[in-house]
Chain A
Amino acid sequence: MDPSLSLRIADATARAYARAVTTLPPDVEAALGRALAAETDPVARGELANILANIEIARTGGVPLCQDTGVPVVYVTLPPSVPLEQGLYDAVAEGVRRATSAVPLRPNVVDPLTRHNSGDNTGEGMPAVHVRPGDRLSVTVLPKGAGAENMSRIEMLLPSEVARIPEVVVGCVLEAGARPCPPVVLGVGIGGTFDLAAALAKEALLEPIDEMDPFETSLCEAVNRLGLGPMGLGGLTTALAVKVRRAACHTASLPVAVNVQCWANRHATEFVEVV
């Protein structure tokens, strides 16, 4: 890869990471504001007010919203003029290392068995980089914290169990309780294969949360009937939104994946000039 393009990709990755951990997308902040406006419980109102104050302090101070600055999940689109090669992955990893020291980010990435921490948020298979063709070269960073990620689940339902999908989604949130830092955003992947359903669930978190189709709305309402509320202390809003992505699947399969995201549904995109 052209060294100057490699540098620009690393730079864009570092900028996207920094922006993602210090500022929330406007649709997420707006959803939190609506949750506060609707809430009557004093404890829940206090929690939401803390969250909105925290967002403001992080934005104005350029500091991380949450000390769990996550693990790097990165989505790249490549235009036809840029070939897919190892240099792209190296450039993204370099950007992650730069963001780790510049922001700074908490070093979260460890070997899964020895638990040795690399210190720079990279490691085998990390950052997780997903590449798609596109019109422009873009780098989207979705830093994923562990509190919510650990509450995620996948179920291989029977084809006859389509009606059980809401039960899977609601059950996931119920079992998670206070742990994923509600009000959560839920990415739901339906169909595909075991791995594709999980990938779709995560990608769904990148979609705008200020619009939901009727199916997504019904899932969100079912989750909110639990009354867990902000931080599991009780209240009207347990989920800010549910976003669903689907893929065709085997006639004998019905994979359903739920990727749980905390209220800090962090993601940011930077574009890279190719010429």
Chain B
Amino acid sequence: MDLIVPLGDEVLDLVAGDRVTLSGVVYTARDEAHLRMMQDGIPFDPVGAAVYHCGPVIAGDRVVAAGPTTSARMNRLSGFLLDAGVRALIGKGGMDATVTEQLRGRGVYLAFTGGCAALAAARMTLEGVFFPELGMAEAVWAIRLDRLPLVVGIDAHGRNLFAGVQARAEAAVRP
């Protein structure tokens, strides 16, 4: 399925394991940006938005490299975004049971392949920046995507692909 932001109820039909693409403007945010947005407010329209866990390399007006960072660091920092209407969190490595519950009936977690910063950058155009004083890695960058290939890691019905794989791995060593 080809998704376009702003996202709506179509995300509720997605199933963990589905492969999708995403187009349109998304917003990068790591730890510092989340803390800042909790304090000062969300600087973009959050309704139907997608937030990308990413600290890119930017040169001038160009996205040089922009792969995903570890989403689990944002496990305790994401509820306010979903409450405000954000429909998709994008990152790598998955998120915990708390976020899985927060996504229920509202949105999805989309996994992008870790380390694939050049592939990502090849499908990105820089549109703007919020909180530039946080520095290159931690600022909120507005980036237009052109069909970024993603996997539904956590769907809106509590299915978490990462948790299932991890549980099977644990069972394999502790039978």
A72 within 8 A of B: no
B55 within 8 A of A: yes
Which of A69, A117, A181, A229: most chain B Cβ within 10 A?
Answer: A181
Contact B161 A234 (CB under 8 A): yes
Chain B, 12-71, CB within 8 A of any chain A CB: 17, 19, 54-57, 59, 64-67, 69-70
Nearest-CB distance from A123 to chain B (Å)?
Answer: 16
The SS class assigned to the A binding surface is loop
Contact A67 B117 (CB under 8 A): yes
Contact A63 B64 (CB under 8 A): yes
Number of chain B interface residues as a range? 35 or more
Contact pick for B115, options A63, A65, A226, A233, CB 8 Å: A65
Contact B57 A64 (CB under 8 A): yes
Contact A54 B149 (CB under 8 A): no
A51-B115, A106-B55, A170-B173 known; A67 vs B165 contact (CB < 8 Å): no
Contact pick for B173, options A179, A226, A229, CB 8 Å: A226
Contact B72 A179 (CB under 8 A): yes
Nearest-CB distance from B4 to chain A (Å)?
Answer: 20
Contact B117 A54 (CB under 8 A): yes
Contact A262 B114 (CB under 8 A): yes
Q: Scoring A residues 139 to 163 as 1 if CB is less than 8 Å from chain B, else 0, what string do you get?
A: 0000001010000000000000000
A197 within 8 A of B: no
In angstroms, Cα B172 to Cα A234, docked, is 13
Contact pick for A61, options B57, B72, B113, B118, CB 8 Å: B118
Contact A66 B65 (CB under 8 A): yes
Name the residue of chain B whose CB is nearest to the CB of A238.
Answer: B169
Contact A50 B94 (CB under 8 A): no
Nearest-CB distance from B17 to chain A (Å)?
Answer: 6
Which of A41-49, A187-195, A208-216, A247-255 has 4 or more CB atoms under 8 Å from chain B?
A41-49
Contact A54 B165 (CB under 8 A): no
Q: Within 8 Å CB of A106, what residues of B?
A: 55, 57, 65, 136-137
A128 within 8 A of B: no
A240 within 8 A of B: no
Name the residue of chain B whose CB is nearest to the CB of A58.
Answer: B118
In angstroms, Cα B151 to Cα A145, docked, is 23
A263 within 8 A of B: yes
A25 within 8 A of B: no
In angstroms, Cα B69 to Cα A104, docked, is 19
Contact A46 B92 (CB under 8 A): no
B84 within 8 A of A: no
Contact A64 B65 (CB under 8 A): yes
In angstroms, Cα B56 to Cα A104, docked, is 12
Contact A233 B165 (CB under 8 A): yes
Contact A51 B172 (CB under 8 A): no
Contact B111 A233 (CB under 8 A): yes
Contact A67 B94 (CB under 8 A): no
Contact pick for A178, options B17, B92, B136, CB 8 Å: B92
Contact B118 A57 (CB under 8 A): yes
A10 within 8 A of B: no
Contact A42 B19 (CB under 8 A): yes
A227 within 8 A of B: yes
In angstroms, Cα B149 to Cα A64, docked, is 19
Name the residue of chain A whose CB is nearest to the CB of B149.
Answer: A50
Q: Scoring A residues 104 to 128 as 1 if CB is less than 8 Å from chain B, else 0, what string do you get?
A: 1111000000000100000000000
Contact pick for B169, options A69, A226, A231, CB 8 Å: A226
Known: A61-B122, A66-B67, A69-B65. 7 other contacts (CB 8 A): A54-B116, A54-B118, A65-B116, A68-B55, A147-B114, A227-B169, A262-B114
Q: Which 6 interchain pairs have the tightest Cβ spacing?
A: A181-B114, A58-B118, A67-B65, A54-B119, A54-B116, A178-B93
Interface residues of B (CB under 8 A from A): 17, 19, 54-57, 59, 64-67, 69-70, 72, 92-94, 111, 113-119, 121-122, 135-137, 149, 151, 153, 161-162, 164-166, 168-170, 172-173
Q: Can you spell out 26 A-B residue pairs with CB atoms less than 8 angstroms apart?
A: A46-B19, A47-B151, A50-B119, A51-B115, A54-B116, A61-B122, A63-B118, A65-B117, A65-B118, A66-B117, A67-B55, A67-B56, A67-B65, A104-B57, A104-B64, A105-B57, A106-B65, A174-B169, A177-B93, A177-B162, A179-B72, A226-B169, A227-B168, A234-B165, A262-B114, A264-B115
